[in-house]
Structures are given as C-alpha cells and as structure tokens.
Amino acid sequence: MVDLGLKELIQAVGELDEEKVAGILKEFLDSNPIEEDVQKVVNACQQGMGVVGDLFEKDEYFVGDLIFAGELLTGAINTLKPVLGSTNLEKTGKIVIGTVSGDLHDIGKNIFKTMAEAAGFEVYDLGVDQPADVFVEKVKEVKPEVVGMSGVLTLSIESMKDTVDSLKEAGLRNDVKVIIGGNPVNEDVRKHVGADAFTINAATGVKMCQEWVK
C-alpha cells in the first residue's frame, strides 16, 4: 500500500504535477504516519527530483522547469514538516556554495542548491557577491567535501580563480573538490580557474558531487 503511494509520488514529482503531489502528501499526513514512513516519503520526493534532473539532462525540461521543481520540493518538505519532527535525514555530504565576488546572479546557484539538497547533501549557501575569504572561512568551519562557485558574468571567472587561489593559500585546496557553474564556464575556464569540474547543468553538477562523496 505504502510502496504503491511512493511510486506515484516519485512519478508526480518527476512530472511536476504539483496538485497530485499535494494530494498524495495530504493523504499521507492524514494517516498519522510513523517516522520510518516519513523518511520513505521524503526519499521519494528526492527521487522525484532525480527524475527531474534526468529529464533536464535529456533536454525535456528546461531552466524554468527546474525552478518550478525547486518550488514544488520546498512546498512538499514544508507540508511534511509537522511530521518530520526529530527525524534525522541522512546526509550524503557537505557542500559550500556561493555566487562569487562581483556577481549578483543567484538563480543557477539556487537551482543547484535545491537539487543538491534533494540528493541528500547538506548545503551551506553563502549568498551572492561573496569574496574569496568568505569561502575560505566557511570551508574551515564546516569542512565540506565540495565547494561550488557560481557566476553568470564573465567577470566572475577571475573571482572564481581568486577563490581557488585563496583556498590554496589557506592550505585547504586538497581537502575539497571544487566545481564551478554558470553561463561563462567551459573546459578552458575550468583549467584557468583551477577547479576540478565545471558544469552548466545543475543536475549533472549534482551527479558529479555524488561521485566524489561515494
């Protein structure tokens, strides 16, 4: 019975069918679920986001769909909050992300954040226009496996490089994987910046992070 509901839920999230997701969750809440089942339902929502990511990689979904998916997932988790209680969601790893100095764009970063969280990462979001030392301090503090830098302006490339250089100077570079994302990045930029990976696709980026923490 519960399993059947989960499949439907995964599918509804994958199809971005907000009403259906809300209906399933409401029914679930009304059944006074036990903690173990809450965990299963959260996992199903996360798997649904995985489906969304796959469809994005296949060019069936586009940026607007990812943004909506983020909204849908946030809504779903909020709906579940009353029963989430002390349930400790298992974390895959930690990621520190931010939009680098000089750049105020946050849409790409926020999409990545939502998808990374859905994949089970604990995400520390520094916000936009963040100088290198803020990244360094946060890395020292939370010791993440991954640092994600985002930017849309070509200007952000140099800021990304500065940030990687600062991580090196602080002796932290070898402790983390660095991924860069956004409009201006490509393989040349990745080399120039000194990152481990680049992506213009949040779903692909999250998969790379998953590989790193395996």
Partner 1 sequence: MNTEELRKERIQLFKDAIQMGKKPQRIPYFGNIWSWKIIDAGYKLSEALYDYEVTEKVLRHVFENYKIDVLSETGWRNPVQVTSVMGNDEYIINDTANSISIKDQCFMEADEYDELIDNPKKFLWEKVVPRKYRLLREEENNSGHFREFLQKYGEFGGFMGKVSKVMNEEYGIPDFADSLAAFDYWGNGYELLFNILRGIKGLSIDMRRDPEKVSAAIEALDETFMAPRLERGKKQPKGTNMDFCVDMNPVMLGHTILSPKQFERFYWPHLKRVSDFAESYDKVVYIFAEGESSRFYEFFQEFPKGHFAIHTEQDDIFELKKRVPNIAVAGGMKSSLLGKGTPQECVDYAKKLIDELGADGGYIFSENKMISFEQDCKAENLKAVSDFVSEYNPY
**Site residues for partner 1 per CB under 8 A:** 16, 18, 59-65, 67-68, 71, 101-104, 106-107, 110, 153-155, 157-158, 183, 186, 188-189
- Comparison of 89 and 200: residue with beta carbon closer to partner 1: 200
**Smallest separation, CB 29 to partner 1 (Å):** 22
- Comparison of 91 and 191: residue with beta carbon closer to partner 1: 191
- Comparison of 2 and 104: residue with beta carbon closer to partner 1: 104
**Smallest separation, CB 82 to partner 1 (Å):** 24
CA–CA gap between residue 71 and residue 76 (Å, rounded):
9
**Smallest separation, CB 91 to partner 1 (Å):** 26
CA 79 to chain centre: 20
CA–CA gap between residue 146 and residue 61 (Å, rounded):
26
**Smallest separation, CB 154 to partner 1 (Å):** 5
Cβ-proximal residues to 73 (8 Å cutoff; 6+ apart), any chain = 13, 45, 48, 49, 114, 118
- Comparison of 7 and 191: residue with beta carbon closer to partner 1: 191
CA 54 to chain centre: 14
CA–CA gap between residue 174 and residue 135 (Å, rounded):
15
